Amino acid sequence: MLAIPAQRANAYTGSPLDRAGKLRDDPAFIEAALADDATLFVPVWRARNLMRGVEEGRPEAVLLSRPGAEAVRMAGGPWAFLGLWEKRPVFAVDCSTADDPLPLLPPEMGAFTDLRAVAGLLPPGEASVLAHARGMMHWRVKHRFCGVCGGVCDARSAGHAMVCTACGAQHFPRTDPAVIMLVVRGDACLLGHSRRFPNSVMYSTLAGFVEPGESFEEAVRREVMEETGVEVGDVTYHSSQPWPFPSSIMIGFHAEGLSDDITLDDEELQDARWFTRDQIRDPSSHGFSLPRADSIARRLIEDWMSA
């Protein structure tokens, strides 16, 4: 099976940030950056990002200067240094303890919005920075206590490490790898409809988490077999997409289908079918829809169609 190259970048990639990892452990730099009026802050409230222009269909990220972010920081939530944007320090700060975060902000600063709903409309760099902030704040909020002994953890390395005050164990941000694959056989591809999909007619590529001791290719073959009973041969890499919803990265593949018959795992999928290229070109007339344009699933399908 020939490799099918990615035709364009995935959403949430292309970050404009220099992550400047060495500066995380420079207390003098971090202290000065937090007090600098040129520093930018990315507020996160209950996994939502601050944007304006959403209702008009022209969303843009809202980053706060130090004076504008003062009330948000005083709310006492976790924060983390994300890096440098054109040499300006950028921090994520969580204000989820506030029932209504808008009074903490300067007037007319927009509203907190689910990033997934508008990512395809945001400039790529902005979507990446907002996703980065969301992922880091999710980790900080969920790892206040030690997974070894249950003790209280203190933040270190400008929010990129948590150290247990009882046993000294160190904890670092984690990203869970998940494979996502378009299985192709001849002129057809395999798509499934999950019971979890909010869209009742959407069919998408298969996906699943990588298990311990498993390669990506092995995970592709196992997941496809478990969910549909289809045997997979060659597996070729396509691209990856950060998916901090809450803490994953999607590793995309095209896979060679070696069998036709589908044996459905109805706990995972409500339906799975082989779709021809003609059906994919006009899904609405065939009674189904494709994944959102900002998803790696859609990119896998579109790049196969154009190959």
**Tens of pLDDT, residues 20-79:** 999 999 999 999 999 999 999 999 999 999 999 998 999 999 999 999 899 988 888 999
**Tens of pLDDT, residues 65-111:** 999 899 988 888 999 999 999 999 999 999 999 999 989 888 888 99
Has residue 167 got a pLDDT over 90?
A: yes
Question: Cα dihedral angle (28, 34, 35, 38), rounded to 10 degrees?
Answer: 110
Average confidence (pLDDT) over 243-252: 95
Percent above pLDDT 70 for the chain: 99
Instruction: Tell me the one-letter amino acid at 135.
Output: G
pLDDT at 152: 97
Task: Look at residue 10 and give its three-state secondary structure.
Answer: coil
Per-residue pLDDT band at 195 (split at 50, 70, 90) = confident
83 within 8 A of 17, measured Cβ to Cβ: yes
Cα–Cα distance, 77 to 267 (Å, whole number)? 38
pLDDT at 1: 65
Beta carbons within 8 Å of 54's beta carbon, 6+ residues apart? 110, 111, 113, 118
